[in-house]
Structure 1
Amino acid sequence: MKTTLKSAIAVLVALPSMALASTWTVDPAHSSAEFSVKHMMVTNVKGSFNIKDGTVNLDDKDVTKSTVEATLDAASVNTANAKRDEHLRAPDFFDTAKYPTITFKSKKVEKAGEGKLKVSGDLTMHGVTKPVVLDVTGPTKESKDPWGNTRTGVEATTKLNRKDFGLTYNTALETGGVAVGEEVSVTLDLSLTKKADAAAATKK
């Protein structure tokens, strides 16, 4: 009897904290992963990857205890130029036959001002894992879409050096410099649905 009573009390004590934790899944149909890199030292070429999946475990009581994981489809790289995209999939760049995904797994979440976060974690790309820091705006206020899904959104940005991930291919220019810049700007716009609503998330 005493054991049963203790167990019941433990459950009651745990309920408030459980209610303040929620799991959210990335809705790939309404999210984007984009990048920008300097081309010929004069313009920025922009591209994107399809998001395969992602999960945010949000601690509503203490956001710094939240976690994030996401996976991108490397072979989906799209810069609106078929020949260039084919080259990007080849061993010179992403070598997508050998490294089909790009993944991120958070290790630390910090507050960075009103509605701002810094999310530190490991980015694995081209078989190389390096630490990166995402500057995050959000999550936005929760809302219901027309199909009953509870949604929120975040925007995350970062800059990285592609050479850190073994993406070293380049061509020297006669006028000096190189054809492809080393610094890459990354922007993630993520639409998130509460896990209980995920089954209906693909509805438009």
Structure 2
Amino acid sequence: MKLTTTILTAATATTLVLVSCKNPAETSTAAEVSEAKKLSTEQGQGQKWVIGEGSSITFVGSKVTGSHEGGFEKFDGHFYVQDGQLSEAGHQVVIDLNSTFSDNEKLTAHLKNTDFFDVATYPTSTFTVTGLKEQSGPKDATHELTGNFDLHGVTKSLTIPIKVDQSDDKIQVTADFFIKRSDFGIEYPGKQDDLIRDEVVIRFDLHATPAE
């Protein structure tokens, strides 16, 4: 009986570890990463729409023993609309990395130090759109978006699927994708027996209305 109990306990523990090890990126879409694109002088044409109430930018990171969720409390940005449609480029979001939060207070402090975002040196992160085209994709995506993502002093071009919902007085843009933090010079490995994965899932839900 004791041997049976020991075996069952070990099996249960193994199952729990296997469940906790699942990588959240497995259910997300990989961003296509390349060298930063040159910005056109004609970008930013059209009517300006400001990102505001109801918007969110969140992330999920994981390690061997589980995952953590977080996001950013402060960010601003805008879209441009021309002839009733989102312009092909010029949209921008600026994130205040000092506003980083997570589901663990100790982790939040760690994310802000030199192992991760290093907010004292790089207080903001910026995403500037360089291209947008209609194209269906995963999770009901309606467009393919390309933009320069500046994070941790490194700028790369990302191409991701997004979903755009637009009415006369509101635009909603959503996305669910993942990047590799090492592409942006964030390489802290974690503890030897609890390594942190390279993939980080990013989700945004941006709501914009016409600028006054």
Q: Does the 8 Å CA contact 1:21/1:61 hold for their aligned counterparts?
A: no
- Aligned pair count reads 165
Structure 1 counterpart of 2:128, which letter? K
Match of 1:171 in 2: 190
Once the two structures are superposed, residues 2-31 of structure 1 have per-residue CA deviations (whole angstroms, 9 ceiling, x without a partner) of: xxxxxxxxxxxxxxxxxx94321100x421
Shift of 1:135: 1.6
Deviating runs (4+, > 3 A) in structure 1?
60-64
Work out which of the residue numbers 23, 39, 46 in structure 1 matches 2:48.
Answer: 23
Residue 153 in 1 paired to residue 178 in 2? Answer: no
- Aligned-partner Cα distance in 1 for 2:171–2:74: 17
- Aligned-partner Cα distance in 1 for 2:119–2:101: 13
Q: Does the 8 Å CA contact 1:138/1:154 hold for their aligned counterparts?
A: yes
Work out which of the residue numbers 164, 187, 191 in structure 2 matches 1:138.
Answer: 164
- RMSD over aligned Cα atoms: 2.1
Higher mean C-alpha displacement, 42-51 vs 181-190 = 42-51
Q: Does the 8 Å CA contact 1:24/1:57 hold for their aligned counterparts?
A: yes
Structure 2 counterpart of 1:31, which letter? S
- Aligned-partner Cα distance in 2 for 1:51–1:138: 22
Q: Does the 8 Å CA contact 2:70/2:103 hold for their aligned counterparts?
A: yes
Residue 102 in 1 paired to residue 125 in 2? Answer: yes
Match of 1:147 in 2: none
User: 1:162/1:115 Cα in 2 relative to 1: closer, same or farther (>3 Å)?
Assistant: closer
Residue 87 in 1 paired to residue 103 in 2? Answer: no
Match of 1:60 in 2: 83
Q: TM-score, normalized by length of structure 2?
A: 0.71
Once the two structures are superposed, residues 68-87 of structure 1 have per-residue CA deviations (whole angstroms, 9 ceiling, x without a partner) of: 10101111111121111111
Structure 2 counterpart of 1:33, which letter? I
User: 1:43/1:65 Cα in 2 relative to 1: closer, same or farther (>3 Å)?
Assistant: same
Match of 1:118 in 2: 144
Match of 1:10 in 2: none
Q: Does the 8 Å CA contact 2:94/2:126 hold for their aligned counterparts?
A: yes
Once the two structures are superposed, residues 93-139 of structure 1 have per-residue CA deviations (whole angstroms, 9 ceiling, x without a partner) of: 11101100010001111111386111101100111101112321113
- Aligned-partner Cα distance in 2 for 1:43–1:120: 31
Q: Secondary structure of the residue that 1:189 maps to in structure 2?
A: strand
Unpaired stretches in structure 2, ≥5 consecutive residues: 1-44
Residue 70 in 1 paired to residue 70 in 2? Answer: no
User: 1:194/1:180 Cα in 2 relative to 1: closer, same or farther (>3 Å)?
Assistant: same
Q: Percent identity?
A: 26
Q: Does the 8 Å CA contact 2:181/2:199 hold for their aligned counterparts?
A: yes
- Aligned-partner Cα distance in 2 for 1:32–1:166: 25
Once the two structures are superposed, residues 141-189 of structure 1 have per-residue CA deviations (whole angstroms, 9 ceiling, x without a partner) of: 23xxxxxxx3221112321100111110112434xxx521101111110
Q: TM-score, normalized by length of structure 1?
A: 0.73
